[in-house]
Each structure stands twice: as C-alpha cells, then as structure tokens.
A and B are shown apart, each in its own frame.
Chain A
Amino acid sequence: SQKIEQNSEALNIQEGKTATLTCNYTNYSPAYLQWYRQDPGRGPVFLLLIRENEKEKRKERLKVTFDTTLKQSLFHITASQPADSATYLCALTSGTYKYIFGTGTRLKVLA
C-alpha cells in the first residue's frame, strides 16, 4: 500500500541554523509534491509545490528538493526563526484529485 513517512515526529534546532525535514514515500509515483505548514488549532497552509521533473524549488528561506529515484523530498528552512516553529506536512498526488499526506514533523526552533 502507499505510504508516506516524514523523518521524525519532532525536530528541535537552534535559531539561525538550517532545518532539514524529510519526506519518504513507497509504492507510489507522484507527479507533484507539496509542502504545508500547520499551526496548532489551524488548518494546513500551502508553502511550496515541486513537480516530478524538477529537482529543486526555492521561495525566500525555503528550499525543496525532489528525488524520484530515492523516492524522497527534502524541505529546508535556512536561518530558522522561532516563528518557523510549526508542524510541516508533505503531500503527494499522482495527478488525480487524491492527495496523500505524510505523518508530519513538528519543528521547534529554539531562541
């Protein structure tokens, strides 16, 4: 069955460092991969989308990579700030209306 795992349930890093979150998938051939941020008591908010034929995408301090051979996406936040603390979710779709979400990683940036 299709499975998406994000590297760790929780990740603590020091302010100013780069946070790296991992999204691994099996039994799936996604056409698109998306990253979302979710704050407590709120719905997920879209951050970035990357296509299967793209290796890397950037937006301000955010960078996403997509390796279809390794079946993995990495999500980087450079110069992290306490305001970046949240849960980050990856989501995959093969081009249908069905999005499959990962288990999420709770990031905490320590001041």
Chain B
Amino acid sequence: DTAVSQTPKYLVTQMGNDKSIKCEQNLGHDTMYWYKQDSKKFLKIMFSYNNKELIINETVPNRFSPKSPDKAHLNLHINSLELGDSAVYFCASSQTSPGQTGNQPQHFGDGTRLSIL
C-alpha cells in the first residue's frame, strides 16, 4: 500500500493552461505539505495544512491554490502555467503531537514532474 500517493506522475502541458495535482495519504496523519523541487534539486516548502487548515503559505504566487477537502487529501491547482513552474512537485504528510511540531518525520510521495512547453 502506497502511504502518500500523487497523481499524475508526469504532467506535460502548454504555457497558460490550468492543471491540478492530487495527493492522498493513508497514514492517518493530520498535516500535509506541498514542496517544489527545482532543477538543482533544491526542495522548498510551498504550503502546509494541519487538519484541513492552511498553516503555511510561503509567498507562493496566487496562481497556486491548494485545497484540502479532508485530512487525507491535499490537492494543488495551478492557473495560467508559466515556464518557471516546470519542476517536480512533492506532497508529504506528518503526524503532529499536541503542542509540538517538527519532531516527526515527513512521508513523501514520489513526486509529479511538471513540464511546461
């Protein structure tokens, strides 16, 4: 059973299009994240959700809109795609202890490789 699954694995599309990436975790975790990994393999956090509530938004353009319908899902919708959006997008999840964060491992999906033509 895949713990954190993302779909699609590959996404090739034209500049200006709108696309969505889906993420689901079956670990029972209460916190989910989206990361962007660029061509130099630098992994940067974009969003963090705890119990469906947005906790972190790292100055990501408004074209990126995450949505968490429930604790097990965190989807990412991107409007008006630009060349600079080409990257690998990773979803992750972790369990937070009451009053404590950061002390639990994150579980990552295998990424969605987005290529803008």
Residues of chain A at the chain B interface (Cβ within 8 Å)? 31-32, 34, 36, 38, 41-46, 49, 51, 87, 89, 91, 93-101, 103-104
Contact = CB atoms under 8 A, between A and B. Distances in A.
B102 A99 contact: yes
Given A45-B108, A46-B107, A97 B41 contact: no
B86 interface: no
B56 A46 contact: no
B103 A44 contact: no
B45 interface: yes
A31 B104 CA distance: 12
Given A44-B43, A93-B101, A93-B102, A98 B48 contact: yes
Interface string B97-117: 000111111111111000000
A100 B42 CA distance: 10
B41 A96 contact: no
Given A95-B101, A101-B43, A101-B45, 9 more contacts: A34-B106, A43-B4, A44-B43, A46-B106, A49-B105, A93-B102, A98-B48, A98-B58, A100-B45
Interface residues of B, number: 30
Contact of B108 (A43, A87, A98, A104): A43
A44 B102 CA distance: 16
B21 interface: no
Contacts of B92: 43
